[in-house]
Structure 1
């Protein structure tokens, strides 16, 4: 059952991996993007989650305003939470991928992140953490 279900994003709790699972289905910006990330973080905090898997293949390019918000607002809160491992399934678009890589390199000192080409590899990495 989805914890958060919108046209652009579905968020679930994966009991097997004890992971927040974010599946972006469409481009999102502004409140849609930010509310989604906040909902995922709320679920992580609720479960004391150490793992996060975000499938960004269909997200599209993150706007500069949303990248700034992620860096200045969301990342500090996420890195103060229980999250330790962030697996990101990268977008196919080179332009979209560049904006994701920029955000993923900004991880906290207690957080490890990896970028993957597919969800199976991301899940396997989280399973081994």
Structure 2
């Protein structure tokens, strides 16, 4: 199985240096154009036994219907895949989402999430976490 996947609107790959599964969006995506790459990201995380994920959302905007799918369906699967640390790059960073701790009721799985304005800062933060 490949260590990277290229879609029209995103690129998913394994970054060996920071031991992180990464998705970089290059344009706006909704529906299956958003969901298929995110599902592939989970598959790669399982194959690599990843604990960390990086989302470069510099060029993506999530609609309400996709947000519901992300929180109700996709996030629990991401946690079940073993991801414990996530970094998101949003150029117009919302300070309210910095250092977000998520705990699911079902299995008490914890996720440490941090948002950044620049990709470099996200990479530095993830590289400081032992995989």
TM superposition score normalised by structure 1: 0.84
Q: What CA distance in whole angstroms lies between the structure 2 residues aligned with 1:2 and 1:45?
A: 12
In the TM superposition, 1:1-129 aligns within 5 A as 3-59=4-60, 61-92=61-92, 101=97, 107-108=102-103, 109-129=109-129
CA shift, 1:107, in A, is: 3.1
Which structure 1 residue ranges, 5 or more long, are not aligned? Answer: none
Cα displacement string for residues 7-49 of structure 1 (whole angstroms, at most 9, x for unaligned residues): 2100111001111111100000000100011011110011100
**Secondary structure of 1:52's partner?**
strand
**Secondary structure of 2:102's partner?**
coil
Equivalenced residues, count: 120
CA RMSD of aligned residues (A): 2.0
Which structure 2 residue ranges, 5 or more long, are not aligned? Answer: 104-108
TM superposition score normalised by structure 2: 0.83
CA shift, 1:91, in A, is: 3.8
Give the number of the structure whose residues are more often strand, by fraction: 2
Q: Is the 8 A contact 1:13 1:21 kept in 2?
A: yes
**Secondary structure of 2:34's partner?**
helix
Q: What CA distance in whole angstroms lies between the structure 2 residues aligned with 1:81 and 1:91?
A: 27
Q: Is the 8 A contact 1:79 1:107 kept in 2?
A: no
**Secondary structure of 2:12's partner?**
strand
Q: Is the 8 A contact 1:71 1:106 kept in 2?
A: no
Q: What CA distance in whole angstroms lies between the structure 1 residues aligned with 2:35 and 2:4?
A: 16
